[in-house]
Structure 1
Amino acid sequence: MSKKQITPEEEEGPEELCIIDTLVEEHCNQNMQDKLNESLVDFEEGLSESPTVLATLQSWRKIEEILPLFNKEEEAAAEKEIPKLNLKPYLWS
């Protein structure tokens, strides 16, 4: 790569910036994919299981699930134990 000075007339416009952004993103994605593939090769070398187990592991995906704050019994107990407010009148002096 040459170190050429960019003059104001040669500055990148929105289209060039979009292309640069796309190229950088593709490069980063490729680097991540390469690292994942290297890790998978390391994993495969260390795995002494059958190929069917490996094929199953490769197809697994993370499933996000929102877990409840309480289980059903705790939730029912919490609903029954709603505290009652004991309000007293405020005395103005």
Structure 2
Amino acid sequence: TTLAELLTCGRELHEEERAGGHVAFLAQVLAGAQTQPRLAPATAAGLDLWTAEIEKVLVRVLADSPLGEFTDPVGLARAVTGAFVGLELYEGVDPAGA
């Protein structure tokens, strides 16, 4: 799997998630967790599952890359998760900008 293939996969996943209403649901639980602390652990656990899968892929893809020795797959996976969630939410208010 190349980084370009991962980008294509991410775009396809984005379309599926938005069409399935998952982005709206995620936005609601993230917002709810700000004022309802009991939502936070479950929301964080869900994001952690997603991040763990991204980390596995990054470890595999970056292993043979010159970038592999300079990157932190754990931190990069969290950054990718955060960016994906942020762009999903951003697109709801500014599709062209996202």
Structure 2 length-normalised TM: 0.31
Structure (1 or 2) with the larger CA radius of gyration: 1
TM-score normalised by structure 1 residue count: 0.32
